[in-house]
Homo-oligomer: A and B are copies of this chain.
């Protein structure tokens, strides 16, 4: 896993774009990935966790998460997501991005607990840096980003949705969405919180985070966690129609407005990135937290059998 190794190395550096690091000199043990190799890899979609379909005629790309069984955000998944996103970002002809799932009933189950359970502090740090990277790139994207939420979307899946410009969810009351970390005995960090406050306000976020609330689709619409509900088979089409309306706005004016709304929140993580990683590592490697995770994993196993 060359990309993974590269990301691990990048954890030791200050922040900079992922691709720029990947394409930098391969000395000092760094893995060199040429843009050519990179594109090779991305076209090799049989092993991909993410399928990207870019229509040059409309300027809109559709990203389909396809990592069974539940689109868990592992380090590999996040790395591929961030590289795909940065590639689209750098392509001036790509103006809009729709993110959806190719799996039934699930958008994404969120962060992969296996990346946090029984792992070394170093591994946990590399993983957390990749989570930060996903959010930084998506929340700050110059493209119009729409989440086509065609299934449940807890924790990290909710964060990914909140980082988009607009959220359309299947109106299935059995699908749920929310930052439910406290239910597992873990805690959403400040930038998850900031993203949610900017979307649904301080009070709704306070209760939601303290109780780890998962909202059914109709409740999510009511509190403003999603913008629109449509029948399940119309989620992607509605996202495509909505995208056309957003793309009717001059890009430069929309981008400056977006940046004005989001830059303070992004800057807050950017200037606390290493401390945030350290906080996460210290917390997640505690015996008591590891025990919570083990109990949760055992509960999941029992549920399956």
Residues of B within 8 A of A1 (CB): none
Q: Does residue A299 face the partner (Cβ distance < 8 Å to B)?
A: no
* Contact string against B for A residues 74-106, beta-carbon threshold 8 Å, 1 for contact and 0 otherwise: 000000000000000000000000000000000
Q: How far is the CA of A254 from the CA of B188 in the complex (A)?
A: 10
> Is A186 within 8 A of B253, CB to CB?
yes
Q: How far is the CA of A205 from the CA of B250 in the complex (A)?
A: 18
Given A182-B250, A249-B182: A256 in contact with B187 (beta carbons within 8 A) = yes
Q: Does residue A210 face the partner (Cβ distance < 8 Å to B)?
A: yes
Q: How far is the CA of A191 from the CA of B257 in the complex (A)?
A: 12
Q: Does residue A190 face the partner (Cβ distance < 8 Å to B)?
A: yes
For residue A244, give the distance in angstroms from its CB to the closest CB of chain B: 12
Q: How far is the CA of A185 from the CA of B255 in the complex (A)?
A: 11
Residue of B nearest to A208 (CB): B257
> Is A258 within 8 A of B210, CB to CB?
yes
Residue from B200, B211, B253 within 8 A of A249 (CB atoms): B211
Q: Does residue A203 face the partner (Cβ distance < 8 Å to B)?
A: yes
> Is B261 within 8 A of A206, CB to CB?
yes
Residue of B nearest to A205 (CB): B261
Interface residues of A (CB under 8 A from B): 165-166, 181-188, 190, 193, 197-203, 205-207, 209-212, 224, 227, 245-246, 249-250, 252-254, 256-258, 260-262, 288, 292
For residue A89, give the distance in angstroms from its CB to the closest CB of chain B: 17
Q: How far is the CA of A120 from the CA of B252 in the complex (A)?
A: 23
Residue of B nearest to A197 (CB): B202
Residue of B nearest to A182 (CB): B253
For residue A275, give the distance in angstroms from its CB to the closest CB of chain B: 14
Residues of B within 8 A of A209 (CB): 257, 260-261
Looking at A198, A253, A288, which has the most chain B CB atoms within 10 Å of its CB? A253
For residue A184, give the distance in angstroms from its CB to the closest CB of chain B: 8
For residue A219, give the distance in angstroms from its CB to the closest CB of chain B: 15
For residue A222, give the distance in angstroms from its CB to the closest CB of chain B: 13
Residues of B within 8 A of A256 (CB): 187
Q: How far is the CA of A224 from the CA of B204 in the complex (A)?
A: 10
Residue of B nearest to A253 (CB): B182
> Is A257 within 8 A of B188, CB to CB?
yes
